[in-house]
Structure 1
Amino acid sequence: MTQIIRQFSEISDRYEALFCDLWGCVHDGVTALPAAVEALQAFRARGGMVVLLTNAPRPRAEVAEQIAKFGIPEDAWDTIATSGDAARVALFSGAVGDTVYHIGERRDHSFFEPLAIVENPTPISRTESLEHATGIVCTGPFDPHSPPDVLRPQLLEAKTRGLTLLNANPDIVVDRGETREWCGGAVAQLYAEMGGSVLAFGKPHPPVYDMARRRLAEAGGQNISDDRILAIGDGILTDIKGAVGEGIDALFVTGGLAAQDTKTTDQPDPGLLDAFIAREGFDPTYSIGRLR
């Protein structure tokens, strides 16, 4: 059964590194959450290391620029691992061929920039026609405010042609301020339900955790064992499921995506939290209303 804590400092000395989610934990899609930033700064000040582990379908440099605009300072983190980078490794390794149909917003075109860590990368071109595509890359819906079902005609054609969909963002939804938006995970879920083949990257899937460990080692944490790593996130089926699968402890931030289910204002309702966890099937080591 999860242990509800009020402050991260109650448990922080048990860990040397964090795999910390961004959206819903450290920012709300619009601006930084000051208490969360302070908690990460305090953890680093005593020698801990912070990997920002995000399902953003973009390169880490672009994420770093974005969070700086939100007001998250560089002294709150050490390095960044993104589902976008994990998926790009697969893309440039030829996982969906060399001619791809892109489902996503124009701002995600940086996903197709070459990745230096892949030797002899597959040259990738984009096509506007599914007829000429060897595979699909999904970084999210074309319009995050429209339900994924509007893509059913394209997905049906893709399935009929036997195309594999490479999904760069397993999140189903995110909350940008007070507005809920659809993500790539919702598109991939629909395609799988239709019988299509999906390659998924990001939390809860292993490749992004391998990348997080590599980035942690590059930043100086090569000797940190899994039992000294804590995952922090607000997604029970992404952050928490992924941590459970990796065998690392997890802190569930209930005031994000699960705020209504757990009736979280400052802290979750214990009974509703237990019911939510039982229903979803993944039990976090700790839970907290907001990261602070």
Structure 2
Amino acid sequence: MTRLIETLQEVSAGYDALFVDLWGCVHNGRTPFPAAVMALQRYRANGGIVILVTNAPRHRESVAAQLDRIGVARDCWDSIATSGDSARAAMYRGVVGEKVFYIGEPSDHSFFDPIQIVEDPVAIERVPLDQAEGIVCTGPFDPHADPANLRPQFLYAKQKGLKLLCANPDIVVDRGESREWCAGALAALYMDMGGESLYFGKPHPPIYDLARRRLRQIAQVPDDRILCIGDGIETDIRGAMGEGLDSLFITGGLSALETGTHYQPDPTMLTAFLNKAQAAPDFAIGFLR
């Protein structure tokens, strides 16, 4: 039974570390949520550790720089684990070959920056699709365009037997008031067409392995003392359930309409939503505060 809470403080004493989603929980892609930042600052001031666990398709230094640009205070987090770093490690180990067709926006080109955590990384070359050994996807070319526009390229890639490395399993994200497609939508389309997609962000295990490594660099914390916080029922909550970790569902993010969330979710709508999703977060709250 999911417990509806008013503030993080109601339950935070039971946990030594938080795995916190970013987009929709701490910021909206443009500005931080002050109450969320203050809640994390308060938690850290009481000795807690905050690991930001994000499906951003970039390395953690790039994400940290973005947080600085939009004004998320540095003292509300300790370390960052990104799906980008998890996927980059796999790419530089050669899981989709050395010659790759890249799908994504120029702002995510840092995905191809040199990597230090892989011994003897392969030399990655971006090439046209007809020369590619695999596909790397950090997101759509145009986040507002219908993913189905890529069907012709995906049909060709499937016929060649190319694997698609998905650096962000999110389907959509809300940037301010605008909803955008993410790499997960393209990876799902490719799989629906019979292709093979490889995932490295939430809810899949590799990013949780990375988050635990980041946490161990600070302190040894058992799984039953870790709380996962996020607004993605199919990413943050499904991932936490798969890892056997407790979770706090932020209902006012991606699922605000479905859960009737204004300040807090409508309890009846929340129950119906969770039942339909077959998800059971330990706690729920309208917004992180």
| 2:162 pairs with 1:194 | no
Q: What is the aligned partner in structure 1 of residue 172 from structure 2?
A: 173
Gaps of 5+ in 1: none
Q: What is the aligned partner in structure 2 of residue 27 from structure 1?
A: 27
Q: Is the 8 A contact 1:170 1:202 kept in 2?
A: yes
- Which of 282, 286, 290 lines up with 2:287 in the alignment? 290
Counterpart mapping for 1:10-21 below 5 A: 10-21=10-21
Q: What is the aligned partner in structure 2 of residue 273 from structure 1?
A: 270
CA shift digits 1:36-57 (9 cap, x unpaired): 0000000000000000000000
Q: Is the 8 A contact 1:25 1:291 kept in 2?
A: yes
Q: What is the aligned partner in structure 1 of residue 213 from structure 2?
A: 214
Q: What is the aligned partner in structure 2 of residue 243 from structure 1?
A: 240
Gaps of 5+ in 2: none
| Structure 2 letter corresponding to 1:74 | R
Counterpart mapping for 1:128-139 below 5 A: 129-139=128-138
Counterpart mapping for 1:119-134 below 5 A: 119-127=119-127, 129-134=128-133
Cα displacement (A) at 1:131: 1.3
CA distance in 2, matches of 1:131, 1:183: 24
Q: Is the 8 A contact 1:92 1:114 kept in 2?
A: no
Structural RMSD (CA): 0.5
Q: What is the aligned partner in structure 2 of residue 264 from structure 1?
A: 261
CA shift digits 1:135-180 (9 cap, x unpaired): 0000000000111011111111111111000000000000000000
| Structure 2 letter corresponding to 1:131 | D
CA distance in 1, matches of 2:139, 2:65: 20
CA distance in 2, matches of 1:112, 1:54: 18
CA distance in 1, matches of 2:139, 2:200: 13
TM-score (norm 2): 0.99
CA distance in 2, matches of 1:119, 1:240: 33
| Structure 2 letter corresponding to 1:136 | I
Q: What is the aligned partner in structure 2 of residue 81 from structure 1?
A: 81
- Which of 252, 258, 269 lines up with 1:255 in the alignment? 252
CA shift digits 1:164-207 (9 cap, x unpaired): 00000000000000000000000000000000011011000000
Q: What is the aligned partner in structure 2 of residue 147 from structure 1?
A: 146
TM-score (norm 1): 0.98
Q: What is the aligned partner in structure 2 of residue 40 from structure 1?
A: 40
CA shift digits 1:226-245 (9 cap, x unpaired): 00000000000000000000
SS at match of 1:262: coil
CA distance in 2, matches of 1:258, 1:86: 26
| 2:55 pairs with 1:60 | no
SS at match of 1:26: coil
Cα displacement (A) at 1:107: 1.1
CA distance in 2, matches of 1:94, 1:60: 21
**Which consecutive segments of 4 or more residues in structure 1 shift more than 2 A?**
none
| Structure 2 letter corresponding to 1:77 | W
